[in-house]
């Protein structure tokens, strides 16, 4: 259950279930001091995990990429335990692994024990088919390792705050005129009846929901190109949508850039987006 503060009542910290108010980490933990850690968010529907193995694999890849030595074999059991101990029908499990406690140095310390946090929280996933995102379009000023799901999220935070201040759903980013991703979402476009999304690589997070959508598109026989779309070509785009654990598949109605508003297609979800939304909802219901 959630406490009065909106936080979960209990968390799993370093293998021990604790009341959230009693869960503490050292002020010298590198996650606290340096943002030195990896995290993952795994959704569940009707108390059943969705795309767990893909999320776990991304966590493993992130840990390996930054040299954090942590075995993930028990995480499926712990994740299921977190859901069982909660009373949430729909929600997500947050897990975070930091490099652990050490004197503050930039290089990796030797022989540290990772700090591991895990907890479940509720989330309402229903209704994404009825939502319409109006988004900001901004230069992507983040680092060149966006494929790592690091807890160092200042670049994403600043990008999302800009969208929040502009009263927009999301901030869609571009590098040198080529659209990469949102501050916390993947982005898809339909142009000339072809579905486009930026290819995996250092400039985007390898989105799990993105991969599910690509699988759905393949099943539906859609033409797909994992290629970046140019900002200059947005006027040719007939549909666009965001994907992610918390947004699922949400249609984009318009982009705002330099005080200029560009409406996408009819300004609402198009037929390709609708087909993918329906198929995605079908997968979650089939768990």
- Active site amino acids: 149
- DSSP string over 162-195: HHHHTT-S-EEEEETTEEEEESSSEEEEEETTEE
Which long-range contacts (C-beta less than 8 Å, at least 24 apart) are formed by 156-162?
156/183, 156/184, 157/183, 159/183, 160/184, 162/136, 162/138
Q: Are the C-beta atoms of 186 and 209 separated by less than 8 Å? A: yes
- Token pair recorded at residue 244: 């992610």
Distance, in Å, from the CA atom of 171 to the CA atom of 187, rounded to the nearest integer, reads 11
Q: Are the C-beta atoms of 110 and 145 separated by less than 8 Å? A: no
Q: Which run of H or of E encompasses 80?
A: helix 75-85
């Amino acid at each position: 259950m959630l406490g009065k503060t909106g936080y979960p009542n209990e968390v799993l910290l370093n293998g021990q279930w604790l009341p959230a108010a009693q869960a503490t980490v050292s002020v010298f933990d590198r996650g606290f001091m340096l943002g030195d850690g990896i995290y993952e968010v795994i959704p569940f529907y009707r108390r059943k995990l969705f795309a767990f193995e893909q999320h776990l694999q991304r966590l493993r890849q992130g840990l390996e990429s930054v040299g954090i030595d942590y075995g993930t074999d028990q995480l499926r059991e712990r994740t299921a335990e977190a859901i069982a101990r909660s009373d949430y029908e729909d929600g997500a499990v947050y897990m975070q692994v930091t490099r652990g406690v050490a004197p503050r140095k930039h290089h990796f310390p030797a022989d540290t024990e990772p700090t591991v946090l895990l907890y479940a929280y509720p989330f309402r996933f229903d209704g994404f088919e009825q939502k319409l995102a109006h988004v900001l379009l901004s230069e992507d000023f983040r680092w060149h390792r966006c494929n790592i799901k690091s807890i160092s999220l200042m670049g994403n935070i600043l990008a999302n705050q800009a969208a929040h201040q502009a009263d927009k759903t999301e901030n869609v980013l571009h590098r040198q005129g080529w659209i990469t991703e949102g501050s916390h979402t993947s982005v898809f476009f339909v142009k000339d009846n072809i579905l486009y999304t930026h290819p995996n690589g250092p400039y985007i997070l390898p989105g799990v929901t993105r991969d599910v959508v690509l699988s759905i598109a393949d099943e539906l026989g859609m033409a797909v190109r994992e290629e970046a779309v140019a900002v200059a070509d947005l006027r040719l785009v007939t549909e666009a949508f965001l994907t992610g654990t918390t947004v699922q598949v949400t249609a984009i109605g318009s982009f705002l850039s330099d005080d200029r508003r560009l409406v996408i297609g009819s300004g609402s979800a198009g037929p390709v987006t609708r087909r993918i939304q329906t198929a995605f909802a079908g997968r979650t219901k089939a768990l």
